[in-house]
Structure formats: structure tokens, C-alpha cells
Amino acid sequence: MFKVAVIGSGPAAFYTAQHLLKSRSNVSIHMFEKLATPFGLVRFGIAADHQDAKKVANKFDELATHYQKEGRFQFVGGVEVVGSEDADAVANASLSQRRLPFSLLRKNYDVVIAAYGAESAKTMPLKQGRAVSAHDFVQWVNGHPDSIGHSDMFAHHLEAETAVVVGHGNVALDVARVLLDDVDSLRRTDVPDNVLQVLAESKVRHVRLVARRGPFQMAFTAKELREMTKLPNASYMPNELLSSEPYKSSDSLPWLDRSPKRLMQILHGSGDAKAIKSKSWALDWYLSPHQILQDENTKSIKAIQFQKTSPVSSVVPFGSKIELVPNEFVDMPCGLVISSLGYTGLPLPNCSEDLPFDARSGVIPNIQGRVIDPATKAPIEGLYASGWIKRGAVGVIAATMYDAVETADSILADLETAKPDASKQGFAGIQAHLGGKAVSYDGWKVLDEHERKEGAKRGKLREKVVDLKSAMRIIDMGDK
């Protein structure tokens, strides 16, 4: 058996594992996940009103169940893989914060795959004031353990009538939909009860989505933008910029890609001024966030000030390069500012030597999934990357799947000429360092069932156990 360790248990981890397990019978996989629960952003990122997209978890569940029975798959939850650390400290850590040195994985497995995602939010530089991060908002709505206790904070934020979301990507739309849609549309999903309560009290009526660059640089997918134009309670307020050239005749621009063309078609075909709904949303372009303006006395947010930008017209596609317009500022009144500038990867905590990392692009340097030494560009034997930490934080699950298959293919090709290393002990070599029991896949199933039961009582899909300690208690009681 080739012993394979995967760090992370999101779509990249599962799709890579699937391809390996199906292609070779002499591969066994251990999947290390820092949280108690598998599936990564499927559980904690994908929007609650996109339950169809979350169904992929069923596929991963089938896979895990099947190969666990075969004895070739094991989930090791509640274990964070970190850089080289004092082994004693690791062994003594409490159950909910178990940490496993990366070097131990390397020592005990033939193949190590980094598939731990790109979980950090890019921050928005401001001269003054701080924006709420879309990352935190999404985690809160999805019941991520890190969002425990955030409901009070968001209750306060959602007293604003107008919210400005900076960034033109799908996550910005996910946030906008939660703010604009009727909370009733979320009641049957997996949004935690206390979050629903806060959303029900939200005063937000108007959302403006703002970007530094132009309409042709919007990074939405057509599907999500169309969904936005069909919100039952919120009307789209067209921006007059779109009725000017070159945006007006985007369809006939030879240098414009299909994707921005499609987005423009959707916008051109939307916005019926007659059907005014109780809420509204709008898009703004060529504005660079400058500072947040607060009321002197109450300290509450009054507006966000932008500096205007303008496209460098010689650069095609139009708007891809912009410059700040000196001394031209715009104040946009609002009570809440959310920054949604995307995600970026981080190195494993305290891990500098063993696993290379390119801080500039936020990924692990690799060629087709083979991690390379940044200096020599030579592949490091037995070390691979997959998913967002390999490619950067872009792309839907389908893209992550293609990417995972590429990595798996590289591994499979390398295994053709390799022999399992007898000195690699696999899980036996690290068990002692874990200092107790990790969450097994059966353990997760206990929690899963608990959540579904609690959800059923409330007429919803599931009621997530947000607090990690409670989750561990439920798992421990059920998984003997």
C-alpha cells in the first residue's frame, strides 16, 4: 500500500482522493482536517440559498463510506497540520486544538497532498475606519466555529439601511442576496437559528456593489448575476454608465470575451423601473475605497469615501488597467461597509522550511500539482498540492474538480515507477503524537445525524452545532 496523507477535507481533498482510490487499489488515504467536520467550503462557504451546490457533500459522503469500509480511507478530524513544533506541546494540546507537525506526515507517508484551501480574506486598505469582511459574514451565516459569538456584532451592523459591498465577485453577490432576500427563504436551510433571528431584524434595504475597475472586469459568474436580477424583493437600479459607450454596445466588441459579454447582456436586459420592490441594489464602477467616514458623536458609519478611478484607454480590454483621478472623491452614504476583495492562501501555521509557499500569489509553488523547490524549480518527491492552495482562491467546485484530477494524475504517474516505502508507518507513526482520539468519519456521522435531527425539529435541513466544544461532546457521546 502506498500511504497517502491529505491535508484538508474540502472539494480538492475529496476529488483528489477519489481519483487516486478509484485508479489504484494499492493506495490508502488519511485525510487530516483541522475542524471536526469535513467538506471545507461546501459546508462553510457556499451560500445557504445554494443548497443544490452543497449536494456535492453527498458524493463525498458516498466516497468516504465506501472506501472506509474497504479500509483504504480514514478521516482524521479536529487535527490541524502545522509547521515544526515542540512535539510535547502537541501531545498535550486539548482535544479541540490538536496540532500535528507537518514533518511527521512527511516522515510517515509516501505521499502528502496539501489541499487546505485559501481561507484568508484579502484586506481592504483604508486611510481611516475598518470594513466588515465578507469572509466573516459568510462564515457567520454558515455557522463556522470561528464565528461563535458574532451574532451581536452583526445585529449591530445590520441596523444600517444602506450597505456598501466593495468587490465584484460571486462572494459579494452571496452577501448581497442574504442582505436583500426575505429571511423566510432561508428558514428551511442550514442557517443557524440565532443568525436567522438577527437577519429577521435587519434594517438593510439597499445594497450598492462597488468596484475599482469597470463593468468589463466584473468577476461574477453569469448564473449568480442572473439570480441577483431575479430577486423577488429587490429591484436592480441600472447605472447610467452602462448606457454609454463602449458598454452600451458590448455585444459587438470584437476584443471582449464571451464571459463579460454575457454579464453585460444580463444587465442590459434587467432593471424594470416600473416594478419597484421594497428593496433595491445597484452596481458602481471606477471607485477606489479611500476611507470610512463616521459620525463624530455616535461613531456610527455615515459614508464611505471613494477616490475616482479612470480606465487607461489605450489598454485593452477597456478598464483592465485603471489610474486614480487626482483629488476627485465621492462620498457614498451608508451605514455598513463590507469588503469582498477575495480570498488568499496562507502557509501552514509555523511552517516555513518543509513546505514552500509563494507569499506574493498566495499559493504553494507547483507544476501540475507537484510541489517544487522555488529556487531550483525541481519537484519535491512525494509532495503535492491541490485545489485553492494550489491554484489560488478562484473557481467554482467544477474548476476545483478539474484541478484535483490534474494533481491526482501527476501522483498516479509518479507512483507508476515508485514502490511503497516500508519505513513509512502511516497513521501508526503519528497516533502517539495526537494524544487521544481524533474525530473519525463515523464521529462526523454522529454529529451529522444530530444536526439533521435538530434541524428536522425546526423544519429545516439541519441545525449546525457551531461551537467546537459542543460538537466534540456530541461526537464523543455517540461515537464509542
Ligand X SMILES: Cc1cc2nc3c(=O)[nH]c(=O)nc-3n(C[C@H](O)[C@H](O)[C@H](O)COP(=O)(O)OP(=O)(O)OC[C@H]3O[C@@H](n4cnc5c(N)ncnc54)[C@H](O)[C@@H]3O)c2cc1C
Residues in contact with other proteins by the rule CB under 8 A:
50, 52-53, 55-56, 58-59, 221-223, 226, 258, 262, 396-398, 401-402, 405, 409
Question: 3-state SS of 267-296?
Answer: HHCCCCCCCCCCEEEEEECCEEEEEEEECC
Q: Could you tell me the three cell numbers for 114?
A: 496539501
Q: How far is the CB of 320 from other proteins (least distance, A)?
A: 21
Verify binding: residue 192, ligand X, rule CB under 6 A: no
Q: Is 6 annotated as a binding residue?
A: no
Q: Is 388 annotated as a binding residue?
A: yes
Nearer to ligand X, 226 or 302 (CB): 226
Verify binding: residue 384, ligand X, rule CB under 6 A: no
Q: Could you tell me the three cell numbers for 478?
A: 455517540
Nearer to other proteins, 187 or 226 (CB): 226
Nearer to other proteins, 183 or 399 (CB): 399
Q: Is 130 annotated as a binding residue?
A: no
Contact code string over 281-310 relative to ligand X, x by CB under 6 A: ------------------------------
Q: Kindly provide the b/e burial profile for residues 117-138, where b requires at least 16 CB atoms within 10 angstroms of the residue's own CB.
A: bbbebbebebeeeebbbbbbbb
Alpha-carbon gap, residue 12 to 40, rounded angstroms = 9
Nearer to ligand X, 115 or 303 (CB): 115
Select the span of 29-37, 179-187, 287-295, 303-311 touching ligand X (CB under 6 A).
29-37
In this structure, are residues 329 and 306 in contact, taking their beta carbons and an 8 Å threshold?
yes
Residue 34 binding result from other proteins, ligand X, none, given CB thresholds of 5 to 8 Å by partner type: ligand X
Nearer to other proteins, 122 or 226 (CB): 226
Residue of 192, 60, 62 whose CA lies nearest to 462: 192
Q: How far is the CB of 243 from ligand X (least distance, A)?
A: 31
Q: Which residue is nearest to ligand X (CB)?
A: 10
Select the span of 83-91, 194-202, 260-268, 387-395 touching ligand X (CB under 6 A).
387-395
Instruction: Name the H helices within 158-273.
Output: 170-180, 193-200, 222-229, 258-268
In this structure, are residues 115 and 389 in contact, taking their beta carbons and an 8 Å threshold?
yes
Residue of 88, 86, 81, 73 whose CA lies nearest to 105: 81
Angle at 105 (CA atoms; ends 94, 5), nearest 5 degrees? 100
Q: Kindly provide the b/e burial profile for residues 1-24, where b requires at least 16 CB atoms within 10 angstroms of the residue's own CB.
A: ebbbbbbbbbbbbbbbbbbbbeeb
Q: Is 41 annotated as a binding residue?
A: yes
Instruction: Supply the DSSP symbol for 169.
Output: B
- Which residues form the interface with ligand X (CB under 6 A)? 7-13, 32-35, 40-41, 45-47, 50, 53, 80-81, 115-117, 119, 138, 171, 174, 343, 348, 387-388, 395-397, 400
Name the binding residues for NADP(+). Answer: 168-171, 212-213, 224, 395
